[in-house]
Structure 1
Amino acid sequence: MNYLISKPSDTLLTHLYAEEVIQGDILASKKVILACKRHMKDLDRAGTEGFPWVFDEERAHNPIRFMEKFCKPSQGDFSSLVLQPWQHFIVGSLCGWVHKDTGVRRFREGLVFIGRKNGKTTMISALSNYFLMADKEPGARIYLLSNAKEQARLLFDESKAMVDSSPVLEKRLLNLRDAIKHPKSKSKIEPRASDSKKLDGLNTHLAVFDEIHEFVDYKLINVIKKSRGSRKQPLILYITTAGYQLDGPLVNYYEQGADVLDGVFPDERTFYYLAELDSAEEFDKPETWVKANPSMGLSLNLEILKEDWEKDKRTPEERLDFITKQFNWFSRSSDLSYLDYETIQKNKKVIDINELKGKACTGAYDLSETEDFTSACLEFPLPETGEIFVLSHSWIPRKKVLADNEKIPYTEWAEQGLLTITKHDYVQYELVYDWFIEQAQKYQIDLIKYDRANAFRLNKDLEAYGFKTEKVRQGFETLSPAMKDLKHLFIDGKVISNQNQLLRWYINNVKLVKDRNGNLMPTKQNRYRKIDGFAALLNAHTNVMTDLTTPVSTGNVKVWSIKELMGR
């Protein structure tokens, strides 16, 4: 049987969707509009010198026709699958763009970022069946992937159900407990997960990562990427809603997508569809919710969503879940989390660290337990701009890294120079001592602040070398002012760390404890989510905050900083 469909009409829905989004006839997020503009711009330069990609309407339309003709949703009262315009745009783009000479697909990866209950499972399950039997790939291996086995099987079970409900698919495909096979091409679909026992020996033609927001590291992603080398046109697709994991792969891929769509840097081989609300002001404007939920009116009922929002927004935990899953905004898991995603994004400035040589700073350290993270930092006040620069470093015992039961990217951070993996089973305090000595050759360390827990020997040695030290009382009254002042700096975008990913991880892990007077203390969200680097920064900031607010004398006139005037 020939599964290829004859060439469709010139007005393909893939193009039509892009045109209507750009014209404003279809309401969409700013990033979806940019994706559509990218598509139309690429059509104009298709096949030109320096841009070897062309759009093959037949290749784009074939999977759509296959999915609609042979794949029936298993849940709900549907007699057939009818793809929505936004789904035409995604599937058509992924499959229609090819190299003008070789016919190889352009896109090797794709990120589909969309609100909950918009039909992504149905779309991907049907697309997987197409790749299994109609993509003309001998021995194709399709992997449906997630962070846990149960989630990975959701996509897989939907693909199986589609086979059972289609006489054409049922006749040609073999449904097994852990695989769907196409005997004619010797191809198969399998579910896999991060917690699967066996992840080697893969040979990826199509890999679909479901709900990548749950991933905390790149282990499974890297396995899949390395397994596609023998394939001519493999595709890795990440399809997900937003989540609470602000330092995982999804945020990284999302930010890369935003940069590509904004034209910051080119990436011709990755497709992006990022559906979300554009601002918090739209939370109470139901007419805009379609931006994050393009299947509104089909799989989602606006009136029911409005009722749910009115109820959920009164409870902090439910409000955050609604914002994350329905408005598709990255959120923290608690209303007492320290910083949100948007605030962290304001602080991406990078400076030449050599410009700080000889400048005054405050040091601090947090020794924590010797068998876990230890951190130290230097905080530089920059009075001319009201900014601060943070130089942060951490240490972790090799034993902790080898155990590797927390899915933390120690090796990546070590390669970036942010973390030292010690040779011993514990962190020797001499390593922190040597770090401060090394930094003192470059910078003027006026004071070193410390938490007295576990710090006696290190502090005595630092003082013997000539450093001035001062302990920080770990209590609400001492730390709360520093926490609030530091948060204001983050909100103003005035914290520079040269995009230190480990420090960002520490900050993401901070949860607040509040006393009856509104004073704040930091704590970690759980035993795996460490905050040692933030604790060191907070200790330093108890001193630096005064450097940014101290009045200076000009004759008989006292001149105050902007920050001090705002607080008076």
Structure 2
Amino acid sequence: MIHQKYVDDYITAYKMGAIKLNKERIMLMNYLEKYVLNNDNLYFDEERINDYITFTEKWFFPTVMYQRFLAAFIFLYDSTTDDVYYDEHFWVVGRGAGKNGTISSLSAFLISQLNGIAGYNGSIVANSEDQAKTSITEIYDTVETNPVLKSSFNANKSQTEGLATHSIVKYQTSNGKTKDGLRDGFVVFDEIHQYQDDSGVSVYESGLGKRPQSRQFELGSDGYVRDGYLDNKKEIALQVMQGELPPDTMFPFWCKLDSEDEIDDESMWEKANPMLSKPLTSYGKTLFRKIKKDYLKLQSEPSKREEFLTKRMNLPLIDLEKSVAPYEQVKATNKPIPMDKLEGREAIGSLDFASLRDFAACGLTFKMDGKVYFVSHQFARKKFVDKYYGYSANPSDRPRNAAPIGEWEEQGLMTILDTETIAPEKVVNWFVAMREKYSIKKIVIDNFRADVLRKFFVDAGFELDVINNPTAIDGLLAPRIEDGFAANKFIWGDNPLLRWNTQNVLVTIDSKGNKKYGKKEERRRKTDGFKAFEYGEYRVDDLNDFDPEESLEFLNGLDF
């Protein structure tokens, strides 16, 4: 067996119960003891390990146990080749675990005289220039504030050179089209959860191997891209730890919760973020307080739960398609609307009129006593509802599970028009009638039908607020809508049509965590009423939450 102090310390801490590890890191411990630490051809370069730790703690930050453990395997060598044993390091840690600080200190060390390899250039690669520059900027700031380092490094905000080795580390973006011919000694791929595939990294990988002791580091927290670069690396990591690939294929350090239930046990959070393992440093204590605050916010802002699980706890949703809200929360909108109290109040009008040939949904949004009320009405063409829902057929002849259009019509929730199209005048006239009772500030519509409808609304004396990019507001409004449902903030009256619309919405999440409202089925499962509700939410903050009659009574009571 081969031994190294920092490796032994970490393994002993786990076995003694001093730290908690997730199942993937437990697999790592078993794999190391079975395939690596019992290989007498391997050795740890103690001088480089200690030099790196000393260098980091003197110039950058105090290290913690897991960082020292990782450092040891960076400088693990094979005596039969005199080369590094691991040329690929895969680290997935929760947000705030000190990833960028590690990149900074390690990059500076590797180009320095302490590493001692001439021309050992490095690239720090990320999807965005700002992210890629993070560590380069940190190295620059560290060098500029320490005169001793200035004698060893020539640093600016785009690159840093180790003067003794003539080695340069610079930032790059994952667009590697013009990077052929690189001769890097090391490459750091940062924020790998954003990579859709390996097309942005293959050029950099091909540049390795031309210098001695070449290494690549793949770092990040988890994200929303599924079946991409990160998920592929996870599969390789599992195969390595299960003995299905050669032991030196990759060094995998993968931190995460083992189950969603563990989110509610703060003692388990260190499974995802090793910076939270005891004893906590001052940074670790600050980080824990920040994570705890984020967790407590989930009680009032459940829309942040997915991000907390994904970024903080490295436990992303596998199914990135979902409904707007659990049906129990949608049903909770079924509370009486106090129409008499809303009379005279300000309202935001909204309209979804995607097609002249099927459905159109109108609505009014009100604020009162901390609640949001939505009064709506929809129009549909008879030929459309006959075709898809058997509207005119005998109940026994209707398609199975067809929407009960006739019942909703009888309830006054919608109007069926026996015309070739839904005339714009119909929807405009509904708002005109509503204006006799309510103060409609403006009417929000999307840009798809704005040109057709504008003249009709303007002629009727309404102000239009056109949403130029309806898809973009989905991501903006999704947290507000999700939190509003969870808090039972929305009141729609007994409106099964609107509840049906809402349940027909398919929420998808893109690679950046933004949500988009689509349809679970394109033709039959209509979402128009929900979209009208969403458009009202877009401008709900323009409304004042006060009773006009109370304001008048207050003014009449003043002695001018």
TM-score by length of 2: 0.56
Could you list the per-position Cα deviations for residues 28-65 of structure 1 after superposition, in whole angstroms to 9, with x for gaps in the alignment? 21212222233333455222xxxx43333334333222
User: What does residue 307 of structure 1 align with?
Assistant: 293
User: What does residue 227 of structure 1 align with?
Assistant: 207
Distance of aligned partners of 1:157 and 1:196 in 2 relative to their CA distance in 1, 3 Å threshold: farther
User: What does residue 6 of structure 1 align with?
Assistant: none
Contact 1:207 1:224 survives alignment (8 Å): yes
Contact 1:22 1:36 survives alignment (8 Å): no
Q: 2:107 aligns with which of 115, 122, 128?
A: 128
Structure 2 unaligned runs (5+)? 325-398, 404-477, 483-496, 514-518, 523-560
User: What does residue 331 of structure 1 align with?
Assistant: 317
| AA of the residue aligned to 1:329 | L
Which SS does the other structure have where 1:239 is aligned? Answer: strand
Distance 1:101 1:272 in 2: 23
The Cα of 1:304 is off from its aligned counterpart by: 4.1
Distance of aligned partners of 1:538 and 1:129 in 2 relative to their CA distance in 1, 3 Å threshold: same
The Cα of 1:11 is off from its aligned counterpart by: 6.0
Which SS does the other structure have where 2:201 is aligned? Answer: helix
Paired-residue identity, %: 25
Distance 1:237 1:261 in 2: 18
User: What does residue 516 of structure 1 align with?
Assistant: 499
Summarize the alignment of residues 296-375 of structure 1 with structure 2, pairs less than 5 Å apart.
Answer: 296=276, 297-298=280-281, 299-301=283-285, 302-331=288-317, 336=322
The Cα of 1:234 is off from its aligned counterpart by: 0.7
Contact 2:88 2:217 survives alignment (8 Å): yes
Distance 1:181 1:14 in 2: 31
Distance 1:209 1:292 in 2: 20
Contact 1:109 1:236 survives alignment (8 Å): yes
User: What does residue 130 of structure 2 align with?
Assistant: 150
Distance 1:259 1:267 in 2: 10
User: What does residue 54 of structure 1 align with?
Assistant: 43
The Cα of 1:24 is off from its aligned counterpart by: 2.3
Q: 1:216 aligns with which of 178, 181, 196?
A: 196
Contact 2:176 2:204 survives alignment (8 Å): no
Q: 2:56 aligns with which of 51, 55, 67?
A: 67
Distance 2:284 2:146 in 1: 26
Contact 2:104 2:138 survives alignment (8 Å): yes
Distance of aligned partners of 1:241 and 1:313 in 2 relative to their CA distance in 1, 3 Å threshold: farther
Q: 2:249 aligns with which of 253, 264, 269?
A: 269
Which SS does the other structure have where 2:183 is aligned? Answer: coil
Contact 1:43 1:54 survives alignment (8 Å): no
Which SS does the other structure have where 1:199 is aligned? Answer: coil
TM-score by length of 1: 0.55
| AA of the residue aligned to 1:34 | M
Could you list the per-position Cα deviations for residues 283-302 of structure 1 after superposition, in whole angstroms to 9, with x for gaps in the alignment? 10111111111112333443
Q: Compute the RMSD of aligned alpha carbons.
A: 3.6
Structure 1 residue 286 corresponds to structure 2 residue 269: no
Q: 1:45 aligns with which of 38, 44, 48?
A: 38
The Cα of 1:123 is off from its aligned counterpart by: 1.3
The Cα of 1:282 is off from its aligned counterpart by: 0.4
Distance 2:73 2:47 in 1: 12
Distance 2:97 2:268 in 1: 15
Structure 1 unaligned runs (5+)? 1-9, 73-80, 339-472, 478-510, 530-534, 540-568
Structure 1 residue 103 corresponds to structure 2 residue 82: yes
Structure 1 residue 30 corresponds to structure 2 residue 23: yes
Which SS does the other structure have where 1:174 is aligned? Answer: strand
| AA of the residue aligned to 2:26 | I
Distance 2:102 2:511 in 1: 38
Could you list the per-position Cα deviations for residues 451-508 of structure 1 after superposition, in whole angstroms to 9, with x for gaps in the alignment? xxxxxxxxxxxxxxxxxxxxxx9x997xxxxxxxxxxxxxxxxxxxxxxxxxxxxxxx
Distance of aligned partners of 1:337 and 1:169 in 2 relative to their CA distance in 1, 3 Å threshold: farther
User: What does residue 20 of structure 1 align with?
Assistant: 13
Bigger RCO (CA 8 Å, 6+ sep):
2
Contact 1:144 1:208 survives alignment (8 Å): yes
Distance of aligned partners of 1:38 and 1:337 in 2 relative to their CA distance in 1, 3 Å threshold: farther
Distance of aligned partners of 1:262 and 1:316 in 2 relative to their CA distance in 1, 3 Å threshold: farther
Summarize the alignment of residues 119-518 of structure 1 with structure 2, pairs less than 5 Å apart.
Answer: 119-133=98-112, 134-195=114-175, 198-296=178-276, 297-298=280-281, 299-301=283-285, 302-331=288-317, 336=322, 516-517=499-500
Which SS does the other structure have where 1:185 is aligned? Answer: coil
User: What does residue 392 of structure 2 align with?
Assistant: none
Contact 2:6 2:68 survives alignment (8 Å): yes
Distance 1:527 1:101 in 2: 43
Distance of aligned partners of 1:260 and 1:515 in 2 relative to their CA distance in 1, 3 Å threshold: farther
Distance of aligned partners of 1:144 and 1:180 in 2 relative to their CA distance in 1, 3 Å threshold: same
